[in-house]
Structure 1
Amino acid sequence: MSFSSLGLSESLLQAVAAQQYPHPYPVQQEAIPAILKGRDILGIAQTGSGKTASFVLPILQQFQGKAVSKSRRVKTLVLVPTRELAVQVSEVFKSFGSQLPRKVKTLAVYGGVSINPQMMQLQGTEVLVATPGRLLDLISSKAVHLSEVETLVLDEADKMLNLGFEEEMNKIFALLPSQRQNILFSATLSNKIEDIRENLLRDPVMIEIKAEEGLTPDLISQVAYAVSPEQKGPFLRYLIKSENMQQVLVFVSSTRTADNVVGKLVKNGIPAAAMHSKKSQGARTEALSKFKSGKTPVLVATDLASRGIDIQFLPYVINYDLPRSPKDYVHRIGRTGRAGASGKAISLITPEDQHHFKIIQKKMGKQVELITPADIDLKGY
């Protein structure tokens, strides 16, 4: 199937070609035609399955031919759980929209930075990508109005609920007009997601993309190394240097570990940066920008901070610490092997981790080779 068969305009097809999308992924094949028809959507799809483009493309097309808004009454509202994801989604809108004849002003708003610049930029914004808390702040300041929202998107709704945004989301829902299109994406279908479905969506098109359809684990080469807790740091540095890794995302379990790992990497001549919730938004944005551009080859992140790290051809992911759940493991390794590209995921397994790692493999339905490194001299690392 090709993008031209989905009902997209010629200018959007050119934008897709410029982004080098070879063909639509399963979620795009189902979502794009349904959204263009004005249907509500409930999509269950993992990160890396192509869901962002599946709603961005038809929404941009819906703006073509409409008068340009110059007010503070946004037409499309996208709610997301984290600052990084807000920036990522807005960048996708801007990249696809840059070649369209009718421009669509898109703005990402989130906490952790000054609210005043965001308030000033809201004039004429038609697509607003927001975290719930900052959106409510802007609404209370009368900097933005939701009375003319035509399309509501909830992206990673399960994470918003897990992070405690339910009350804020309900306040936002109450301010929206009753007649609108609703698009909800979630990695899982929980009881709370079902409640939102019942109360928010009208006769939705149900789209469920299994992990293997979303191209998350199958294109990823997975390997694990059995190491002692004392070997983890030196072995990490050995891997990065011996495989000449130029871009690698390292996952850790805590902000303290992130800072410690970065300190040791830098001390050993490996440029690295930490990204976690205790960093300022400016520091997080700078770290991500340098990582994406290749200036900083190693980014060490916690799970929460990793939301919104979207690099199409990221070659390596390393689990320095294992995540708590198998779903988080799949989400982590899904940062590589995206959009049809191959990637490598490496896990460092201590004796205490081995039972948990077996559970992860069983839930994932895939066996990962556990290698015991032998004859490797870690002195100097």
Structure 2
Amino acid sequence: MPFSSLRLRPEMTAALQRRFSAPTEIQTLSVPAALGNQDIVALAQTGSGKTLAFGLPLIEKALNQPELTSSIVLTPTRELAGQITHSINAIASDIAIENEAGITCLTLTGGCDINEQLEQLHSMPNIVVATPGRLLELMTTHNIGFDTLQSIVLDEADRMLDMGFWPDVSKLLTLLPSKRQVMMFSATFSQELEQKAQHFLFEPQRIQAQAIEDDVRERINESLYLVNKGSKANVLIAQLQLHKSKQTLVFVGAKDNADAICKKLNKAGIPSAALHGNKDQSEREDTLTKFKSGEIQALVSTDLLARGIHIESLPLVINFDLPSDPKTYTHRVGRTARAGQNGTAISLVCHGETAYLEAIRTHTERELPLAELEGFPVTDKPSTGNSKRAPRDKQANRRTNKKTSIKQFRGKPRGKKPQ
């Protein structure tokens, strides 16, 4: 189906045809409904083209009223917000070649100067892409309103729920104009999300693009290795040296662990950087830019980059830690094998993560066998679930916890008999 079938204005169709051969399935299904101002619930996997599925209608509406802020996109992470803005601006700049009306898209996230953002809002950007916390702060603390708003997009809605952002999302939806179109895009749609969403959706059109996971799965070579917990860093270095990948995304579970691993990799001569929520926004943007350009070989990240972020030709993903949520495993390994390419995903698993592995196997309905690596014998023993502490020690600890006065911690005086 050609772009001309989407009922977009000619200059936008021309701009799209210069960049793409044809619309994706989610774009074909979503764009006409969005242009018709229908509320939408769309299920679409990462990599399906969903950013332009909502971005194209938002640009079209902005061209109809270029002097107003007509749309807001809410998204869970700063990185994803920046990527959405980049995608929208790329199409808008092409349209500007044939249309004098310039479309502006503004990113509002934490970690940036809020006073500068307030000044940018006064210029009435056509489209605002924001993380929930920063937008809520601007609206409640600085009394910013969006009276001209026509459309609200909730991108990665399931992840905003999982990350605990839903209270902010709900508050924002009560502050924004009640007469508006709401479009919700999500990779999964749980019963909890269904219940929460029904409060602000009006007769939504439900759209589901065919799952692309099976096709991606066939192009990912997955390997899972059983290793000692204390050997993981050395195994990671060995795997990076073995594969010699120009770009590797390494996922960890904790922010502190990301920094510690990064130091070890750099010491081993592997150019690396860490990316997590404790980094300020400019540092995060600079790190991601360097990684995409190949200046950084290994990017050690928390699940900030597990979903939504597109990195061209990423050949290797390594799970240093298995995620506790099995869905996150699927999103992590899905960072590779993009755009029809093949990729490799490696997971380092210690005995303490076997419950996570079983949950992943159940979720993916795949065997995912564990292998051992030559040169890294497994000497750790599986946990029996029993405590190693002797019963007497437990009793002593309980007695200590019951003491409330420092005098109770002193031993009996020596050499004196009680009076």
TM-score where L is the length of structure 2: 0.81
| Pairing of 1:357-376 with structure 2 (within 5 A) | 357-374=357-374
Give yes or no for the alignment of 1:93 onto 2:92. Answer: no
Residue matched to 1:57: 56
Bigger Cα Rg: 2
* 1:14 Cα deviation from its structure 2 partner: 4.0
Residue matched to 1:35: 34
The range that moved more, 77-86 or 341-350, is 341-350
Q: Distance in 2 between matches of 1:110 and 1:315?
A: 30
Q: Distance in 1 between matches of 2:286 and 2:177?
A: 37
Q: 1 or 2, which has the higher helix percentage? A: 2
Q: Distance in 2 between matches of 1:376 and 1:36?
A: 57
CA contact (8 A) 2:42 2:208 kept: yes
What CA deviation, in whole Å up to 9, does each residue of 1:301-354 have, x standing for no partner? 111354553213322111111011210101111112234333221111223334
The range that moved more, 306-315 or 122-131, is 306-315
Aligned length in residues = 372
| Pairing of 1:1-381 with structure 2 (within 5 A) | 1-19=1-19, 21-64=20-63, 66-69=64-67, 74-100=69-95, 101=99, 102-122=101-121, 123-140=123-140, 142=142, 144-209=144-209, 211-212=211-212, 216-304=216-304, 306-374=306-374
CA contact (8 A) 2:46 2:307 kept: no
CA contact (8 A) 1:247 1:314 kept: yes
Distance 1:178 1:352, change over 3 A: closer
Q: Distance in 2 between matches of 1:3 and 1:344?
A: 34
* 1:124 Cα deviation from its structure 2 partner: 2.6
* 1:108 Cα deviation from its structure 2 partner: 0.5
Q: Distance in 1 between matches of 2:308 and 2:113?
A: 20
Question: Which of structures 1 and 2 has the larger relative contact order (alpha carbons within 8 angstroms, sep 6+)?
Answer: 1
* 1:209 Cα deviation from its structure 2 partner: 3.8
Over the aligned positions, Cα root-mean-square deviation in angstroms equals 2.4
CA contact (8 A) 2:42 2:185 kept: yes
CA contact (8 A) 1:43 1:186 kept: yes
For 1:35, the aligned partner's letter is: A
The range that moved more, 321-330 or 80-89, is 80-89
CA contact (8 A) 2:46 2:308 kept: no
Distance 1:358 1:209, change over 3 A: farther
What CA deviation, in whole Å up to 9, does each residue of 1:84-122 have, x standing for no partner? 121111111111211002321000101122201111112
CA contact (8 A) 1:216 1:330 kept: no
Partner of 1:332, secondary structure, is helix
Partner of 2:253, secondary structure, is coil
What CA deviation, in whole Å up to 9, does each residue of 1:51-87 have, x standing for no partner? 11211122212333x2421xxx521011112211211
The range that moved more, 224-233 or 197-206, is 224-233
What CA deviation, in whole Å up to 9, does each residue of 1:184-203 have, x standing for no partner? 11222234422343222222
Q: Distance in 1 between matches of 2:15 and 2:315?
A: 25
What CA deviation, in whole Å up to 9, does each residue of 1:137-165 have, x standing for no partner? 22235574211101110111222223333
Distance 1:214 1:168, change over 3 A: farther
Partner of 2:229, secondary structure, is coil
Partner of 1:152, secondary structure, is strand
Q: Distance in 1 between matches of 2:56 and 2:261?
A: 40
Distance 1:25 1:224, change over 3 A: farther
Distance 1:94 1:215, change over 3 A: farther
What CA deviation, in whole Å up to 9, does each residue of 1:19-68 have, x standing for no partner? 4x45433322311222122221101223333211211122212333x242
CA contact (8 A) 2:307 2:331 kept: no
* 1:255 Cα deviation from its structure 2 partner: 0.9
Distance 1:170 1:373, change over 3 A: closer
Q: Distance in 1 between matches of 2:274 and 2:151?
A: 36
The range that moved more, 177-186 or 241-250, is 177-186
TM-score where L is the length of structure 1: 0.89
For 2:328, the aligned partner's letter is: D
The range that moved more, 272-281 or 334-343, is 334-343
Partner of 1:189, secondary structure, is coil
